[in-house]
């Protein structure tokens, strides 16, 4: 098994696990430093973990509902613990979002579980909730939890903070490090009509440990996350801004939705990230 070291001093470049990754890693063994695998994928298809015989793994997660009010069940937490221990992940990236919520009709009913994380209400109330959840969740893991900014597709009722203010408030309140998803950030800025290049400067970039890059598309009047499309140039402009203030430990390209994603673009974008990191 191969493992990544958290403090190697260089910026690691990796890919989110997807249909093109095993073949890509075999064909290009020296191009990437790690593969990021969602815990949920390891749980439901443990054979995906075999890739760690070839390349180190960083664990990602969408099950802890860090910004929610319904905690994950103990079995899920135990399974994440085991996956973290087995992979020796240097950190666990989790969404600053919710994936479970209270039932609306009957307090005794089971919580509503989603299959896709949702941007929470961005308010002081949620910031406090994140602090409580993080303190509880972190006890389960040796590796630090880091939080990934959500894409904001619409105004969540009761929100009193902008995305930049919300992320900043969470970092200040919890001291947590960030997984900065530049595409999520760009999507949020497009959907709330803010300038991404100036807003990104308002984030606590010195807390960024990992960066995510993927594509987006605009449909039905809203910008959406799209891991089947290449990131537009502005995402790399944002990365340049980030790098002026912090050297992240890892940059992950998330092109994991399509088995047809062109290898030539993967290589081009890995080269582009490396080029930015050298500047």
The distance of closest approach from Cβ of residue 153 to other proteins in the complex, given in angstroms and rounded to an integer, is 5
The distance of closest approach from Cβ of residue 66 to other proteins in the complex, given in angstroms and rounded to an integer, is 12
Can residue 138 be called a binding residue for other proteins (CB under 8 A)? no
Separation between Cα atoms, residue 59 and residue 38, nearest integer Å: 6
Angle at 54 between CA 46 and CA 246, to 5 degrees: 95
Q: Select 18 or 248, whichever has its Cβ closest to other proteins.
A: 18
Which of 279, 252, 276, 277 is closest to 266 using CA atoms? 252
Can residue 136 be called a binding residue for other proteins (CB under 8 A)? no
Q: Select 84 or 134, whichever has its Cβ closest to other proteins.
A: 134
Per CB under 8 A, contacts with other proteins among 13-72 are: 19, 68-69
Q: Select 86 or 168, whichever has its Cβ closest to other proteins.
A: 168
Which of 213, 143, 214 is closest to 176 using CA atoms? 143
Per CB under 8 A, contacts with other proteins among 61-120 are: 68-69, 98, 100-104, 112-116, 118, 120
Per CB under 8 A, contacts with other proteins among 151-170 are: 153-158
Angle, nearest 10°, between helix axes 124-138 and 163-174?
Answer: 40
- Contact residue for other proteins among 52, 126, 214, 252 (CB under 8 A): 126
Question: Could you tell me the CA-to-CA distances from 169 to 145, 173, 200, 245 in Å, in that order?
Answer: 17, 6, 14, 19
The distance of closest approach from Cβ of residue 242 to other proteins in the complex, given in angstroms and rounded to an integer, is 26
Structure tokens at 207: 């807390």
Structure tokens at 178: 């960030």
- Give the alpha-carbon dihedral of 192, 196, 202, 208, to 10 degrees: 110
By CB under 8 A, the count of residues binding other proteins is 41
Length of the chain as a residue count? 279
Q: Dump strand ranges (E) for 154-214.
A: 177-181, 208-213
Which of 114, 98, 184 is closest to 149 using CA atoms? 184
- Contact residue for other proteins among 54, 123, 138, 192 (CB under 8 A): 123
The distance of closest approach from Cβ of residue 244 to other proteins in the complex, given in angstroms and rounded to an integer, is 32
Can residue 141 be called a binding residue for other proteins (CB under 8 A)? no
Per CB under 8 A, contacts with other proteins among 215-254 are: 217-220, 222, 224-226, 228-229
Separation between Cα atoms, residue 22 and residue 227, nearest integer Å: 17
Which residues lie near other proteins (CB under 8 A)?
19, 68-69, 98, 100-104, 112-116, 118, 120-121, 123, 125-126, 129, 153-158, 217-220, 222, 224-226, 228-229, 257-260
């Amino acid at each position: 098994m191969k493992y990544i070291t958290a403090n190697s001093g260089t910026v690691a470049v990796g890919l989110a696990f997807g249909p093109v990754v095993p073949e890509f890693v075999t064909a290009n063994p020296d191009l990437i430093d790690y593969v990021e695998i969602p815990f949920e994928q390891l749980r439901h298809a443990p054979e995906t973990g075999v890739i760690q015989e070839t390349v180190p793994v960083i664990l990602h997660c969408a099950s802890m509902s860090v910004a929610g009010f319904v905690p994950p069940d103990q079995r899920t937490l135990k399974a994440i613990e085991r996956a973290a221990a087995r992979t020796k992940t240097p950190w666990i990236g989790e969404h600053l979002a919710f994936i479970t919520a209270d039932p609306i009709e009957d307090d005794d009913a089971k919580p509503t579980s989603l299959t896709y994380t949702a941007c929470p209400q961005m308010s002081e109330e949620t910031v406090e909730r994140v602090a409580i959840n993080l303190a509880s969740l972190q006890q389960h893991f040796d590796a630090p939890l880091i939080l990934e900014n959500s894409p904001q597709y619409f105004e969540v009722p009761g929100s009193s903070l902008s995305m930049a203010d919300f992320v900043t408030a969470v970092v200040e309140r919890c001291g947590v490090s960030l997984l900065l998803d530049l595409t999520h950030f760009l999507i949020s800025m497009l959907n709330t009509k803010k300038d991404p290049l100036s807003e990104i400067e308002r984030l606590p970039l010195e807390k960024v440990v990992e960066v995510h890059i993927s594509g987006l598309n605009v449909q039905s009047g809203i910008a959406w996350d799209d891991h089947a499309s290449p990131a537009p140039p502005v995402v790399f402009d944002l990365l340049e801004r980030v790098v002026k203030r912090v050297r992240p430990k890892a940059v992950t390209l998330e092109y994991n939705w399509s088995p047809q994603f062109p290898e030539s673009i993967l290589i081009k974008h890995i080269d582009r990230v490396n080029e930015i990191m050298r500047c």
